[in-house]
Structure 1
Amino acid sequence: MLTTEPFFSAPLEPKLQAIRNRLRPGQQVIADWQAGPLAVSAVPGAGKSTGMAGAAALVIARHQLNRRRQLVVVTFTRSAVASIRAKIRSHLRELGLPQGSFLVNTLHGLALNIAGSQPELSGVRADLKAVLQPSQKARFLRQAVDQWIAENPQPFQLLIEGRAFDGEETERQRRQFILRSEILPALAQEVVQEARSSGLSPNQVREISRQVSEEVEFSVLGVAAGLYERYERILRAANAIDYDDMILGALRVLEDPVARQIWQERVFAVFEDEAQDSSPLQTRLLEILSQSETDGSNLVRVGDPNQAINSTFTPADPRFFNDFCDQCGSSERLAILDQAGRSSRIIIDAANFVLNWVNQSSLVGRERAFRPQQIQSVDAGDPQADANPAPEGRGLELLAPRDIYHSAQLLGARALELLKANPDRTAAVLVRQHNQSRFLCEQLQFLQKDHGIVVYDTEQRERRSRVPAQMLALLQFINRPHSPDNLKNALSVLLERQLIPSQDLNALAVDPERFLYPGPLDPALSATQAQIRRKCAGLLRARLELPLFNLIPFVALALGYDASELATADKLTERIVQQVYSQGAHPSLNAVLGVLNDIVLSENFEAVEVEDPEVRYIRPGQLTVITMHKAKGLDWDYVFIPFLHERLIPGQPYVPASAQFLGDFTLPEVARAQIRAYVHGDEVPSVGEAWRRAGELKAAEEFRLLYVAMTRAKRLLWMSAEKSTPFSWNNLEMMQDTAKACPILKPLAQRFPSSLVPC
């Protein structure tokens, strides 16, 4: 049971009490922690890091911690590491206590320290350069796919036949190509990520597959186990490790009794932030590290399961943290941080309404989308400045514009009105997809051009960082245009840059010669395909007409790069020229591709910042355009959330037309659902049931993402669902005139009728 008895030593008691008194009631529960496990479930804006920092200082003072006996604080990102470290140091300076009494790190950083301390036990070198980069991992996964196909011709044939296969050779080639280039690499990526983070070996995945009553001719997890096994083999042969190897290596060290005792004597307790994003292996590592001889595990886990928005593309699963909270709650070791001073009352009420409505609806099936905890306003006299501020205008504004252009017009006018009247305040537009960000930045340029309000596109830096990979894809195509992979990669870049219409790229890439050089007996290309072919032909002509080192500037212009991207391409050209000549190689396109491939694999090329490199997402008088995922952890006075439609939130798992020959499901989602069911101790579902659960998982996460987006707002939350919206944001010409709004908007409008804004 938690205790609140006095524990301060006399000399420091007044200062310690002052730190504690500055905390909210929920935060004080963390500050009063003395030993044993503690779960802290927080709401958005509750001040998790503030509470953790204050509690950390009190723990350090109370137990006289030092370099030999430290408090370990683990968080999710490097930026969060810096923030929490600074807050703890500030408290320790105030108390006059040593700064070496605590350690703040990311979980992978902590695992690498443990694994690298005894490489003979972990099998992991303490060398960050040895960690597999994402592009290298993708290459290893492709190699695993190629090996599996070569060694398993019969199962591969079953995949090719799928359903409705008439034996036609062109269709066979198309299915082979998409299996090798897309479907199987995606399955390998998913099973490697899910299985390794859960501590499952390839053989264990194979055993799980035997528990499944299959509805198709092939076993999804059986194929996945084979891919996983070959990936492990390739990884060992390359003497490389990936991020999961850090955790596994650290656990191998802690399995040794002597090493475990050394580490446990060094660590007094572990405070974990963002615990909703932990995997089973990560949790196991922290439990062992925080083990105490008398009190069990001195582990304080702080998180918000309602802000778990990574579980559909990472091994994170909020169910693990929810289970931990329930276990701690049964022994009165659960604290709720439910007071938040960020938002005005109507925004809090709207967020709470969404939480309750979704949990009571049938849209997420058996999944529990939200932990049932309500955001509460802070008490009078709260130390947070301007806590629960007065709303701006209606506080919550709900609109139904004619189309996306009308929506951008209304949004821009409202942002202009607000920021002109209050230039010291902040504003942001939160979007679900990256291409929506680009559209809005183009539509809102009048704010900057005519009124001096900066429209800051947070995707610009990410687009600049993709310049080397895009160049590699285009130059590989120019060098070997008859490769189906090279053609598809080049078309993918052109599609990403919205330079060609949305198409089934596999159908074009499966036979490059027929597409690029059609003969008189070949089927005629459609008008759209002919347009794409001309774009490709223009790139190929450049190989013949331009000097070698002019190819990158040419491709940069062909891709429509902006000033920053062009500057990055120029820098890339200079580096390639230097490295080609420094290696003594004959200047050739193959030499350029070799250098460029090394740059992409090493992932250490810094993009050029034309604007101030210290620019922030939150700047007074600026309108920031940012994705909902990237907005987590941030807040603004005014938040705009346009394009809220059912197709995106909650959406449905999507089966690409090119992959429907396997069935009405996708292999990665089925494998994920089956592995997670096993890890949670549930019955492993069949393919159809696993696909249904994947849909529920996606719906639950999409509603949590919307909840996160809504709770970024302080004074005004503006939300819209347009009556006409694109079928695909890659092609704005094809509009859907009867787009269905996100299902939460109608009940939200009924609950807050005064928030409806006529337009």
Structure 2
Amino acid sequence: MNNHRRIEETIAQFRQKLRPGQIELSQWQGGKMAVSAVPGSGKSFSLAVAGAILVCQEKLNPNRYLLIVTYTRSAAASIKDKMRTILTEEFKMPPVGFMVQTIHALASSIVNRYPFLSGLNLETSNLVDVSSNHPLILETVENWMSLHSPAFDALLRGENEKSFNYEESEVLRRESVLRTEVLPKFTHTVISTLKSSGWNIDNLDNLANLDNSGIYPLGTVASELYQEYQKLIHKYQVIDYDDLIIGALNVLNNEDARQTLQQEIAGVFEDEAQDSTPLQGDLISILAQDKDCSEPNLVRVGDPNQAINSTYTASDPFYFHQFCEDCRQKNRLFLMEQAGRSNENIINYANETLAWMAEKVEANLIEKQEIKIVGENDSQPDSNPLAEGKGVEFYEPETFEQVLDLMSERIIHLFDKKEQEINTNCAILVRANKQGSFIFQELQKRLSAYDIPLKLIGDRISYSDIVKDILGVLQFIAFPHSSKFVYNILKILAQQEIISNQDFDQLSIYPEKFLYPTPLDDALTPEQEKARKFCLKFLQASIELSSYQLIPFICSVLNYDQLALATAQKLCDRIQKENQGKMSLKAMIETLTNINNTERFEGVETENEDIYTKKGQITIMTMHKSKGLEWDYVFLPFYDKENIFSEKKINGSLKFLGKCDLNDIIRTQLRQEIHQQRLGKKIEPLSLHQAHEKAIQEKQAEELRLLYVAITRAKKLLWMSKSKDNFQNWRYS
């Protein structure tokens, strides 16, 4: 049998095992295709199979290859591993002819290849991962406030501007709230939304019409903050992740470079397309373009109902919706509706819940779809497993103590048999990290007599957070009378769930009165006293410990996990190396400030998802973190669908701005402008009220989609509960 015939027979055998939607993907030979895939339908497996078939049929090689783009390194590693296995073991072919990259790794490779055309030099510029509490954002806010812009004065006066009398203590309080709570988030949203959409300083005049949308000149605020940020980017010679995409697009503006890259790429597959941004979509569309054809060779696979990041990141499912609609009109939209992950009872419940969700929010915010069980002759392994018990269980006891008791009893029963401990796994999914910590502590007590390992996974800790946390504590130790540094350390302690969230602006305005109150001062509350004691604990440590012992002490107080501790140790080694072993407080602060401001610190990490889904383990993590994973048993102890629609409470310190969240409003208004511009429509700005109402709808829809993601992680058992006392509800209020 010749090689060509053997490959064709292997392809035919593979296609016999595929389901609807998977088959069409494996038959792709060019042009645009959209695949909308329900949870558990095997997207990554389907992409790997389709990719391997294309590599074999088209005889792709390192000089002309298939490009697969994902948005996380773990997803890239998973698809790459699947393709290698299929090519080598099934097709008996070498694992070449394809490349799997994250979108930013792709952009970086293009920029490094054509640095002059990109306008970037990654060797001399540091790449920074900018968040709302990044020093670049905070300095942007500080610089803008110092300009005494009329727009800032409008924010300071607040909603009831006529009654504001500029009393000194109230001015200081409002300035602190704007500086620390409002403007950093607002600034980050403005910059990420505009830059990820391709807007630059030349486009900012378009924002002027937002000034007429309400009592605040939000267009002017956004424009001025954006310009201040760009000044700092150039001042410090740093680039952010949107700059990487922009640099890659600059390269593609050159015809020779564009054609060279396009000739190398036979086609582009995109995974999790609902999570892309406008410029990311532009980048892969241009790379997928064939110079002899007007239509890109592009396959985008995703699920609009699993878009769970769009209200706090720049990802926007609107563009995948548009791509799907365009493909639908050309009969190039295919549905991957059959899912083998869950048992039939869980699938039925997920479908009922999704239908209920679609009735609760505006059209297009929840996609109407139905998960179907696989066919009787399905050959993919472990499809639609048998249910554990009824498959779906719901409890509503009087108190949350009873919820914990019921959950503990169910877990003990599930893990009672030794073979089940080895062959099954379990997750408890929560909405917020604080809920996870609480559950972890309570279950440790209740399961202490049983050999059932609990694993708590936190969302917050990232490498940039570790640098900022340690720097924040050291700055407080060096300058304990600084209001700014007192506020920062209180926020760090609260984020690490060591103290509760309080009015930190009030505590930090007069640091001496907070840290060393006199008998004449107002007595501190128990929670305030706890915060004060932790601050004093750090100050005492700076006296008793040598400088090189401070960072390990800080990490122990902040309750870092093993990966975070390993990263902190790597950071210590870096500081020692750069300061030739001299670990003075000043040297540590200077080194950490430089790292924090000018680079993305690479810590110790793992791309192995087994730590989350280990057999015999109960994993406690947030619903956001669970996306893309699956467990035999899933527990949702704070399940309350109706609570999602409760009105969001406005922090008391923010009430002078009104009931609207300015961060949500500016995101909604900017996206409206960007969507209309990209569709070639006349731009009609949303009023403050319209943007507020739309933002509420979008946030509620995203919370519903998050719940849908959590439900569809379960394979054999979905266990849900809520207590009638409404203890720690959905939003952990």
Q: TM-score, normalised by structure 1?
A: 0.88
Is the alpha carbon distance of 1:206 and 1:138 closer, same or farther for their aligned partners in structure 2, counting shifts above 3 Å? farther
Which residue of structure 1 lines up, in the alignment, with residue 611 of structure 2? 616
Deviation at 1:12, TM superposition (A): 2.8
In structure 2, C-alpha distance between the alignment counterparts of 1:210 and 1:101, rounded to whole Å: 50
> What are the residue-to-residue correspondences of 1:197-236 with 2, within 5 Å?
197-211=196-210, 213-216=212-215, 218-236=216-234
> What are the residue-to-residue correspondences of 1:667-686 with 2, within 5 Å?
667-681=662-676, 683-686=684-687
Kindly indicate whether residue 91 of structure 2 is the aligned counterpart of residue 90 of structure 1.
no
1:404 to 400, 421, 426: 400
Give yes or no for contact 2:115–2:121 (8 Å, CA) kept in 1.
Answer: yes
Deviation at 1:502, TM superposition (A): 3.2
Which residue of structure 2 lines up, in the alignment, with residue 265 of structure 1? 263
Kindly indicate whether residue 308 of structure 2 is the aligned counterpart of residue 312 of structure 1.
no
Give yes or no for contact 1:564–1:608 (8 Å, CA) kept in 2.
Answer: no
Which residue of structure 1 lines up, in the alignment, with residue 117 of structure 2? 121
Q: What amino acid does structure 1 have at the position aligned with 2:45?
A: T
Kindly indicate whether residue 471 of structure 2 is the aligned counterpart of residue 490 of structure 1.
no
Kindly indicate whether residue 58 of structure 2 is the aligned counterpart of residue 63 of structure 1.
yes
Q: What amino acid does structure 2 have at the position aligned with 1:692?
A: E
Helix, strand or coil at the partner of 2:315: coil
Give yes or no for contact 2:466–2:564 (8 Å, CA) kept in 1.
Answer: no
In structure 2, C-alpha distance between the alignment counterparts of 1:630 and 1:269, rounded to whole Å: 30
2:36 to 6, 17, 41: 41
Which residue of structure 1 lines up, in the alignment, with residue 302 of structure 2? 303
Which residue of structure 1 lines up, in the alignment, with residue 378 of structure 2? 382
Is the alpha carbon distance of 1:463 and 1:446 closer, same or farther for their aligned partners in structure 2, counting shifts above 3 Å? farther
Q: What amino acid does structure 2 have at the position aligned with 1:242?
A: D
> What are the residue-to-residue correspondences of 1:67-216 with 2, within 5 Å?
67-93=62-88, 94-127=90-123, 130-134=126-130, 138-162=134-158, 163=160, 164-211=163-210, 213-216=212-215
In structure 2, C-alpha distance between the alignment counterparts of 1:307 and 1:729, rounded to whole Å: 18
Which residue of structure 2 lines up, in the alignment, with residue 282 of structure 1? 280
Instruction: Tell me the matched-pair count.
Output: 716
Give yes or no for contact 1:502–1:730 (8 Å, CA) kept in 2.
Answer: no
Give yes or no for contact 1:36–1:295 (8 Å, CA) kept in 2.
Answer: no
Helix, strand or coil at the partner of 2:150: helix
CA RMSD of aligned residues (A): 3.0
Give yes or no for contact 2:673–2:685 (8 Å, CA) kept in 1.
Answer: yes
Give yes or no for contact 1:556–1:569 (8 Å, CA) kept in 2.
Answer: no
In structure 2, C-alpha distance between the alignment counterparts of 1:34 and 1:565, rounded to whole Å: 44
Give yes or no for contact 1:191–1:228 (8 Å, CA) kept in 2.
Answer: yes
Is the alpha carbon distance of 1:538 and 1:55 closer, same or farther for their aligned partners in structure 2, counting shifts above 3 Å? closer
Deviation at 1:104, TM superposition (A): 1.1
Deviation at 1:694, TM superposition (A): 1.0
Helix, strand or coil at the partner of 2:449: helix
Q: What amino acid does structure 1 have at the position aligned with 2:17?
A: R
In structure 2, C-alpha distance between the alignment counterparts of 1:569 and 1:107, rounded to whole Å: 25
Helix, strand or coil at the partner of 2:308: coil
In structure 1, C-alpha distance between the alignment counterparts of 2:575 and 2:108, rounded to whole Å: 36
Which residue of structure 1 lines up, in the alignment, with residue 588 of structure 2? 592
Deviation at 1:348, TM superposition (A): 0.4
Helix, strand or coil at the partner of 1:397: strand
Deviation at 1:354, TM superposition (A): 1.0
Kindly indicate whether residue 717 of structure 2 is the aligned counterpart of residue 722 of structure 1.
no
Helix, strand or coil at the partner of 2:724: coil
Which residue of structure 2 lines up, in the alignment, with residue 514 of structure 1? 513
Give yes or no for contact 1:44–1:340 (8 Å, CA) kept in 2.
Answer: yes
Give yes or no for contact 2:66–2:266 (8 Å, CA) kept in 1.
Answer: yes
In structure 2, C-alpha distance between the alignment counterparts of 1:154 and 1:461, rounded to whole Å: 36
Structure 1 unaligned regions, length at least 5: 1-7, 737-759
Which residue of structure 2 lines up, in the alignment, with residue 291 of structure 1? 289
Which residue of structure 1 lines up, in the alignment, with residue 235 of structure 2? 237
Which residue of structure 2 lines up, in the alignment, with residue 745 of structure 1? none
Which residue of structure 1 lines up, in the alignment, with residue 680 of structure 2? none
Deviation at 1:127, TM superposition (A): 4.6
Q: What amino acid does structure 1 have at the position aligned with 2:475?
A: Q
Which residue of structure 1 lines up, in the alignment, with residue 10 of structure 2? 15
Q: What amino acid does structure 2 have at the position aligned with 1:677?
A: Q
- Partner deviation per Cα, 1:141-191 (whole Å, 9 max, x = no partner): 122222222224433222211135232211100111221223112111001
- Partner deviation per Cα, 1:468-524 (whole Å, 9 max, x = no partner): 543332232121111111101111123234443431111111222333344566555
Is the alpha carbon distance of 1:471 and 1:248 closer, same or farther for their aligned partners in structure 2, counting shifts above 3 Å? closer
Give yes or no for contact 2:385–2:716 (8 Å, CA) kept in 1.
Answer: yes
Is the alpha carbon distance of 1:409 and 1:605 closer, same or farther for their aligned partners in structure 2, counting shifts above 3 Å? farther
Give yes or no for contact 2:472–2:485 (8 Å, CA) kept in 1.
Answer: yes
Is the alpha carbon distance of 1:685 and 1:653 closer, same or farther for their aligned partners in structure 2, counting shifts above 3 Å? farther
2:246 to 245, 248, 253: 248
Q: What amino acid does structure 2 have at the position aligned with 1:684?
A: P
Which residue of structure 2 lines up, in the alignment, with residue 368 of structure 1? 364
Give yes or no for contact 1:195–1:205 (8 Å, CA) kept in 2.
Answer: no
Identity percentage of aligned residues: 38
Which residue of structure 2 lines up, in the alignment, with residue 712 of structure 1? 713
> What are the residue-to-residue correspondences of 1:531-542 with 2, within 5 Å?
531-542=530-541
In structure 2, C-alpha distance between the alignment counterparts of 1:476 and 1:618, rounded to whole Å: 39
Is the alpha carbon distance of 1:568 and 1:165 closer, same or farther for their aligned partners in structure 2, counting shifts above 3 Å? farther
In structure 1, C-alpha distance between the alignment counterparts of 2:31 and 2:412, rounded to whole Å: 52
Give yes or no for contact 1:322–1:371 (8 Å, CA) kept in 2.
Answer: no
Q: What amino acid does structure 2 have at the position aligned with 1:142?
A: L
Deviation at 1:338, TM superposition (A): 0.2
Is the alpha carbon distance of 1:76 and 1:548 closer, same or farther for their aligned partners in structure 2, counting shifts above 3 Å? closer
Moved more, 655-664 or 393-402: 655-664
Give yes or no for contact 2:245–2:283 (8 Å, CA) kept in 1.
Answer: yes
Helix, strand or coil at the partner of 2:633: strand
Deviation at 1:17, TM superposition (A): 1.0
Deviation at 1:447, TM superposition (A): 6.2
- Partner deviation per Cα, 1:93-132 (whole Å, 9 max, x = no partner): 2324443311111111111222222111111235597311
Is the alpha carbon distance of 1:654 and 1:225 closer, same or farther for their aligned partners in structure 2, counting shifts above 3 Å? farther
Q: What amino acid does structure 2 have at the position aligned with 1:481?
A: P
Q: What amino acid does structure 1 have at the position aligned with 2:126?
A: A
1:649 to 639, 644, 656: 644
In structure 1, C-alpha distance between the alignment counterparts of 2:594 and 2:285, rounded to whole Å: 40
- Partner deviation per Cα, 1:612-651 (whole Å, 9 max, x = no partner): 9996211222111111111111111111011124686355
Is the alpha carbon distance of 1:561 and 1:464 closer, same or farther for their aligned partners in structure 2, counting shifts above 3 Å? farther
Is the alpha carbon distance of 1:523 and 1:166 closer, same or farther for their aligned partners in structure 2, counting shifts above 3 Å? farther
Kindly indicate whether residue 653 of structure 2 is the aligned counterpart of residue 658 of structure 1.
yes
> What are the residue-to-residue correspondences of 1:719-758 with 2, within 5 Å?
719-726=720-727
In structure 2, C-alpha distance between the alignment counterparts of 1:60 and 1:565, rounded to whole Å: 38
Q: TM-score, normalised by structure 2?
A: 0.90
In structure 1, C-alpha distance between the alignment counterparts of 2:82 and 2:520, rounded to whole Å: 72
Moved more, 382-391 or 597-606: 597-606
Which residue of structure 1 lines up, in the alignment, with residue 336 of structure 2? 337
Deviation at 1:66, TM superposition (A): 2.0
2:24 to 29, 34, 37: 29
Give yes or no for contact 1:448–1:455 (8 Å, CA) kept in 2.
Answer: no
Deviation at 1:11, TM superposition (A): 5.1
Q: What amino acid does structure 2 have at the position aligned with 1:623?
A: I
In structure 2, C-alpha distance between the alignment counterparts of 1:577 and 1:226, rounded to whole Å: 36
In structure 2, C-alpha distance between the alignment counterparts of 1:533 and 1:728, rounded to whole Å: 29
Is the alpha carbon distance of 1:638 and 1:476 closer, same or farther for their aligned partners in structure 2, counting shifts above 3 Å? same
Deviation at 1:201, TM superposition (A): 1.7
Give yes or no for contact 2:64–2:264 (8 Å, CA) kept in 1.
Answer: yes
Deviation at 1:62, TM superposition (A): 2.3
Deviation at 1:225, TM superposition (A): 1.1
